[in-house]
């Protein structure tokens, strides 16, 4: 049980390729931190640096109060679940799980007790004598987790552990790993490229892009107030709609002018935007905040926009509308009662209580 | 403050020591192999280069014998200008024969190998498993034993080839068995007058085709099975005939597997010592001698170690050129799934 | 398939003659089936012809020097094991039994095979996994030897090994004129092959397994011994067998090096039976000897060939 600190950590491969760039993260004890980002963004490298599988170029990594830069992996008191599970093919499930304990000279009956307890928790008690190749994907996954549990490490590391499972199993394992975190009360650090996994499991999420930490916060805060265009676009599906626009003052009202349509900003949100009047901005709004004009929820500031329906996708509980106005295309998630069909001229309503404005130059949020 | 600084320098020293071990660690893994190869491979190779500039012979073998005389490039020149004192020795003809031998073999192996693999891969073929099991035999029987057996079979009077041909000739055409005393190994006249190849070349070719095609069939079969069936279905829908399917789909998709297999075949056939040494012995009149068998004769029969060393240096460079050329060809033909 | 019911026996017989596959899919037409069968049968006869010839000859009861007619059926004219008995007692004019020859070949093949995998596996691991200065150069050094046929280093090996002489009492031990010397020369060629072959396999073992071992508590060296080495047993076995097989039938080096009949190997004895002074050797003896040499390795090869024909053997060359 320990905190983890990345203190100005930089990892270079060769001279030019910077995988992790000046990373600063404090992971509290017992926290479930998810590192998320597109593939090749450096999240896995950051995790491998913590595990000791890669040497860091600059900075310090601390587990608890101890700087572990030069500590070999085996002495870091961590356990890791690999994307490919990395089960030893020549050992039985029991021996796979017992491997680390045997190396640490844990007494035999203690090993047996711990392995059986972990197998019980994970529901793989019947498989202990099998070899990894006789197991299904989901079972292998459990063994890999079990191998980590029995070690009772200070920190658990997960490197995209669910990406090799089918969709249904993935949802199930997601819940199980969350439950496991509650039971074990240990620090979890989890790498994934799947923002749904990040949202559902994390106590905090760190979004990484091109080796640089973009934002670290709770899932809800990250979703509600993204720091920049990358985070806003990465979290949420379908992704947030972005419109290049200009801020203008129009007879006492502040408006966003996308050149296809003009939206009025509610007076209570104009204050931080004053300095940007007359400048280029990016206007962002999530699909669920775009409604069919006939089904506008009560008590919102709705601004109507004319658009053409390009494609509709019926999802049952809602409809995805792919809309076109002038040179902008965007997506709305509207009420399933909506009558809009392909090719229609449509009137949609933007919920102006929930929008995001970013500086067009820096792509940082203005708020 | 001071204690902290001290402990940090101490740990730095410790870390430094560790990193030295870490850097050296790979070399410990390499040490046993390179120690042994240094003594029994690399040192002899260098020594051989030195030998090639001397007249190293039997006289220098004796314990405490004097060092051989330095003769400069004489060995190298004599080899190329055919002044080795070996009868019927002609370096350039031999090099040409060696290359012709190599490519004629590999072309036949690959063609026959693919042909049979395609037949074996056809849907609904009877006794597939039987043929597959049987055709493995030439691969698993030691090559040198096969060479000896074929030498025996090519015997002009009692060999199985001539007796078999006589039986067939009598059965189908009523020919007298006395006609079939073909001197496969030692007939000097060229059977095809405008091709400077003796009958022993054809005997060697027959034997090596017997030995070589199954390997190519296995490689091609593996590649054929990995071609998705829906490609052929798509081609049929597009209106491709069977032969078009073969030339447009099968053959291009076999290439990534067949090219490295052919390169392997080329290198193996170029140096096919055992077959030639045991079957034709390079004869008649050195007409089927290749580089590697000549090198062996120079050591084993002539005992001209200096000349043999120079000869092996030539072999080294010829093989290097052959390898680089074939590698360039391999690299030029990339696989499709890359 | 419209229904999943298993086809009846008669349906399957019908399919067989219609040239359909076992699942009833359309196969080849009857005409091309017959043509293919004829061709494949011809190839089968060609493959079997030399084997039948030599097997049949080895059972020839008549102890004559040359067979006067085409024998392909081993049962024709009676079976006799006399040729085998003679060959086992004393295959050549040299006063050496087959047992002695086999023992020599076996020692040579086993020891060089074992030496090449034990010494080679460490180097192949370094090449496959570890990063170090000079890796490229050392790999080229290995490949260079791999490219060379073993005969191309024989002049120097002969001369150098010949220099190692030790006086032991009334006789002189010459390293060149001994099985140890032949073994060293053979190892000089087989070690690079072993390194390269094993490297090709180690490359396919996922790196994550070692990383998992590092996290589980291994040092890098322990990870090699406890995880990678046990996982590479198949390639160790295959490499050993390939080394064994090539040394078991090795000829050029042993023929050049050895002069004492007590040290002779199987292939040397066989060469004595077919060489130019062997007109008196009955062919039945030659045939029995060939079979006795080839049979053990052929049987083992038959069982293990699917592991490397077309796979590992090529992988070694492709690099």
Percent pLDDT > 70 in chain C is 88
Percent pLDDT > 90 in chain C is 46
Pairing of strands C165-168, C171-174: antiparallel
Assign A14 a pLDDT band (cuts: 50, 70, 90): confident
Assign A44 a pLDDT band (cuts: 50, 70, 90): very high
Is it the case that residue A62 has pLDDT exceeding 90? yes
CB-count exposure of residue A89 (10 Å: 0-12, 13-18, 19+): middle
Number of cross-chain residue pairs from A and C with Cβ atoms under 8 Å apart: 58
Task: Check: CB of residue A158 under 8 Å from CB of residue A191.
Answer: yes
Is it the case that residue A49 has pLDDT exceeding 50? yes
Domain assignment of residue C145, given as a range: 86-318
What pLDDT, on the 0 to 100 scale, is given for residue C226?
92
Q: pLDDT tens digits, residue range A286-324?
A: 999 999 988 888 888 888 999 999 999 998 899 999 999
Per DSSP, the three-state class of C38 is helix
Assign C284 a pLDDT band (cuts: 50, 70, 90): confident
Assign C2 a pLDDT band (cuts: 50, 70, 90): very low
pTM (2 d.p.): 0.85
ipTM confidence score: 0.86
Is it the case that residue A273 has pLDDT exceeding 60? yes
User: In chain B, what is the straight-line distance between the N-terminal and C-terminal CA atoms, in Å?
Assistant: 58
Question: Which residue is it, tokens 């009956």?
Answer: A109
Contact residues of A toward B, CB < 8 A:
70
Q: How many CA atoms lie within 13 A of B280 on its CB side?
A: 32
Could you tell me where the DSSP H helices lie in A88-133? 93-103, 108-122
In chain B, where are the structural domains located?
86-334
Which residues contact residue C154 at a Cβ distance below 8 angstroms, ignoring those fewer than 6 apart? B295, B296, B299, B308, B312, C185, C252, C253, C256
Q: pLDDT tens digits, residue range C169-221?
A: 788 888 998 999 999 999 998 999 999 989 988 988 888 999 999 999 999 89
Q: How many domains does chain C have?
A: 1
Q: pLDDT tens digits, residue range A67-83?
A: 999 899 999 999 999 99
- Supply the mean pLDDT for chain C: 85
What pLDDT, on the 0 to 100 scale, is given for residue C82?
85
C181 falls within a domain: yes
Cα–Cα nearest to C250, from C164, C156, C317, C187 = C187
The Cα of B2 is separated from the nearest Cα of chain C by a number of Å equal to 33
CB contact under 8 A, C49 and B164: yes
What pLDDT, on the 0 to 100 scale, is given for residue A348?
92
CB contact under 8 A, A103 and C218: yes
DSSP A4-51: EEEEEEEEEETTTEEEEEEEEEEEPTT-EEEEE-STTSSHHHHHHHHH
Is it the case that residue A36 has pLDDT exceeding 90? yes
What pLDDT, on the 0 to 100 scale, is given for residue C31?
83
Residues of C in contact with A99 (CB under 8 A): 213, 216
What pLDDT, on the 0 to 100 scale, is given for residue B2?
43
- Phi and psi dihedrals of A64, rounded to 5? 65, -130
Partner chains of C (3+ C-beta pairs under 8 Å): A, B
Residues of C in contact with B295 (CB under 8 A): 151-152, 154-155
What pLDDT, on the 0 to 100 scale, is given for residue B98?
95
What pLDDT, on the 0 to 100 scale, is given for residue B313?
95
- Supply the mean pLDDT for chain A: 91
Question: Domain containing C170 — which CATH number?
Answer: 1.10.3720.10
Task: Say which CATH architecture domain B86-334 belongs to.
Answer: Orthogonal Bundle (1.10)
C241 falls within a domain: yes
**Residue of A52, A55, A70, A71 for testing the chain B interface, max B β-carbons within 10 Å:** A70
Q: pLDDT tens digits, residue range A182-191?
A: 999 999 999 9
| Chain C CB within 8 Å of residue A80 CB | yes
C182 falls within a domain: yes
Is it the case that residue C27 has pLDDT exceeding 70? no
Q: B283-320 in b/e burial notation, b at 16+ Cβ within 10 A?
A: bbebbbbbbbbbbbbbbbebebbbbbbbbbbbbbeebe
Minimal-distance CA residue of chain B relative to A71 = B15
**Residue of A74, A80, A149, A164 for testing the chain C interface, max C β-carbons within 10 Å:** A74
The Cα of B197 is separated from the nearest Cα of chain C by a number of Å equal to 24
**Tens digit of each residue's pLDDT, chain B (338 residues):** 444 444 455 566 666 777 788 888 899 999 999 999 999 999 999 999 999 999 998 888 877 778 898 998 999 999 999 888 888 889 999 999 999 999 999 999 999 999 999 999 888 888 888 998 899 899 889 999 999 999 989 988 888 899 899 988 888 988 888 888 889 988 888 888 888 899 999 999 999 999 999 999 998 998 898 888 888 888 888 888 888 889 988 998 898 888 888 888 998 999 999 999 999 888 788 999 999 999 999 999 889 999 999 999 999 999 999 988 887 877 776 555 43
What pLDDT, on the 0 to 100 scale, is given for residue B4?
45
What pLDDT, on the 0 to 100 scale, is given for residue C94?
80
Spatial separation of the C-alpha atoms in residues A302 and A349, rounded to whole Å = 6
CB-count exposure of residue A9 (10 Å: 0-12, 13-18, 19+): buried
Residues of A in contact with B11 (CB under 8 A): 70
Tell me the sheet residues that pair with A26.
A5
Least CB–CB distance from C215: residue in A73, A89, A90: A73
| Chain A CB within 8 Å of residue B18 CB | yes
């Amino acid at each position: 049980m320990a905190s983890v600190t990345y203190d100005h950590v930089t990892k270079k491969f060769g001279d030019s390729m910077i995988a992790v760039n000046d990373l600063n993260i404090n992971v509290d004890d017992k926290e479930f931190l998810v590192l998320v980002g597109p593939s090749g963004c450096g999240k896995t490298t950051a995790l491998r640096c913590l595990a000791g599988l890669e040497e860091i170029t600059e900075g310090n990594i601390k587990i608890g109060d101890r700087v572990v830069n030069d500590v070999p992996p085996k002495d870091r008191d961590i356990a890791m679940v690999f994307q490919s599970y990395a089960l030893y093919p020549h050992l039985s499930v029991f021996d796979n799980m017992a491997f680390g304990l045997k190396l640490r000279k844990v007494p035999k009956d203690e090993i047996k007790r711990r392995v059986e307890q972990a197998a019980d928790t994970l529901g793989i008690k019947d498989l202990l004598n099998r070899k990894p190749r006789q197991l299904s994907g989901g079972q292998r996954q459990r063994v890999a987790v079990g191998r980590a549990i029995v070690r009772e490490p200070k920190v658990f590391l997960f490197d995209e552990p669910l990406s090799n499972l089918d969709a249904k199993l993935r949802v199930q394992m997601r819940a199980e790993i969350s439950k496991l975190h509650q039971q074990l009360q240990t620090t979890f650090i989890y790498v994934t490229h799947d923002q749904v996994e990040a949202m559902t499991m994390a106590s905090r999420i760190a979004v990484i892009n091109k080796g640089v930490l973009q934002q670290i916060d709770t899932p809800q805060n990250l979703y509600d107030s993204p720091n920049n265009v990358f985070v806003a676009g990465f979290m949420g599906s379908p992704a947030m709609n972005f419109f290049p626009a200009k801020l203008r003052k129009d007879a006492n009202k502040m408006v966003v002018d996308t050149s296809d349509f003009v939206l009025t900003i509610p007076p209570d949100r104009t204050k931080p935007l004053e300095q940007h009047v007359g400048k280029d901005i990016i206007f962002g709004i999530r699909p669920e905040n775009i409604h069919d004009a006939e089904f506008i929820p009560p008590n919102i500031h709705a601004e109507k926009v004319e658009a053409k329906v390009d494609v509709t996708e019926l999802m049952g509980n809602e409809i995805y509308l792919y809309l076109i106005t002038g040179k902008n295309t965007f997506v709305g998630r509207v009420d399933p009662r909506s009558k809009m069909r392909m090719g229609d001229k449509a009137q949609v309503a933007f919920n102006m209580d929930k929008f995001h404005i970013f500086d067009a130059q820096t792509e940082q949020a203005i708020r | 403050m001071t204690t902290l600084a001290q402990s940090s320098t101490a740990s730095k020293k410790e870390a430094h020591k560790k990193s030295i071990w870490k850097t050296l660690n790979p070399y410990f893994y390499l040490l046993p192999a390179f120690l042994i190869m240094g003594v029994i491979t690399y040192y002899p190779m260098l020594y051989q280069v030195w030998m090639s500039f001397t007249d190293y012979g039997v006289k220098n073998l004796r314990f405490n014998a004097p060092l051989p005389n330095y003769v400069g490039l004489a060995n190298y020149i004599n080899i190329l200008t055919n002044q080795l004192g070996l009868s019927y020795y002609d370096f350039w003809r031999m090099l040409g024969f060696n290359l012709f031998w190599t490519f004629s073999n590999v072309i036949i192996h690959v063609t026959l190998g693919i042909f049979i693999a395609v037949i074996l891969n056809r849907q609904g073929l009877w006794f597939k498993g039987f043929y597959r099991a049987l055709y493995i035999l030439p691969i698993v029987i030691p090559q040198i034993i096969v060479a000896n057996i074929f030498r025996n079979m090519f015997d002009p009077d009692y060999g199985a080839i001539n007796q078999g041909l006589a039986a067939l000739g009598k059965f189908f055409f009523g020919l007298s068995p006395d006609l079939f005393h073909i001197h496969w190994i030692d007939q000097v006249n060229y059977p095809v007058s405008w091709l400077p190849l003796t009958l022993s070349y054809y005997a060697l070719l027959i034997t090596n085709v017997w030995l070589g095609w199954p390997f190519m069939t296995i490689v091609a079969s593996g590649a054929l099975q990995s071609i998705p069936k829906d490609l052929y279905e798509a081609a049929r829908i597009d209106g491709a005939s069977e032969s078009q399917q073969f030339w447009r789909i099968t053959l291009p998709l076999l290439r990534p597997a067949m090219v490295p297999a052919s390169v392997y075949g080329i290198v193996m056939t170029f140096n096919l010592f055992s077959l030639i040494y045991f079957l034709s012995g390079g004869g008649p009149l050195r007409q089927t001698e290749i580089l590697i068998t000549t090198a062996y004769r120079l050591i084993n029969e002539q005992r001209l170690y200096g000349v043999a060393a120079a000869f092996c240096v030539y072999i080294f460079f010829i093989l290097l050129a052959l390898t680089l050329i074939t590698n360039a060809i391999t690299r030029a033909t990339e696989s499709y799934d890359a | 398939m419209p229904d999943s019911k298993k086809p009846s026996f008669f349906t399957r017989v019908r399919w067989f003659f219609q040239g359909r596959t076992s699942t009833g899919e359309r196969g080849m037409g009857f005409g091309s089936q017959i043509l293919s069968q004829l061709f494949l049968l011809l190839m089968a006869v060609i493959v079997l012809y030399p084997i039948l010839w030599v097997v049949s000859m080895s059972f020839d009861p008549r102890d004559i020097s040359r067979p006067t007619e085409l024998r392909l059926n081993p049962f024709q004219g009676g079976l006799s094991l006399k040729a085998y008995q003679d060959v086992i007692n004393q295959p050549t004019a040299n006063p050496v039994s087959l047992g002695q020859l086999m023992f020599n070949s076996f020692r040579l093949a086993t020891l060089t095979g074992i030496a090449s995998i034990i010494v080679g596996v460490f180097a192949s691991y370094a090449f496959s996994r570890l990063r170090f200065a000079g890796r490229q150069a050392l790999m080229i050094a290995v490949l260079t030897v791999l490219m060379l046929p073993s005969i191309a280093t024989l002049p120097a090996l002969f001369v150098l090994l010949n220099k190692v002489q030790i006086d032991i009492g009334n006789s002189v031990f010459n390293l060149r004129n001994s099985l140890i010397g032949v073994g060293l020369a053979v190892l000089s060629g087989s070690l690079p092959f072993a390194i390269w072959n094993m490297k090709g396999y180690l490359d396919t073992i996922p790196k994550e397994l070692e990383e998992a071992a590092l996290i589980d508590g291994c040092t890098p060296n322990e990870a090699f011994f406890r995880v990678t080495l046990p996982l590479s047993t198949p390639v160790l076995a295959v490499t050993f067998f390939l080394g064994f097989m090539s040394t078991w039938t090795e000829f050029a080096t042993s023929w050049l090096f050895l002069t004492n009949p007590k040290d002779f190997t199987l292939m040397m004895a066989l060469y004595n039976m077919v060489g130019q002074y062997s007109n008196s050797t009955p062919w039945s003896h030659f045939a029995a000897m060939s079979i006795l040499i080839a049979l053990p390795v052929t049987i083992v090869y038959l069982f293990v060939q699917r592991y490397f024909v077309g796979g590992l053997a090529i992988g070694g060359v492709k690099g």
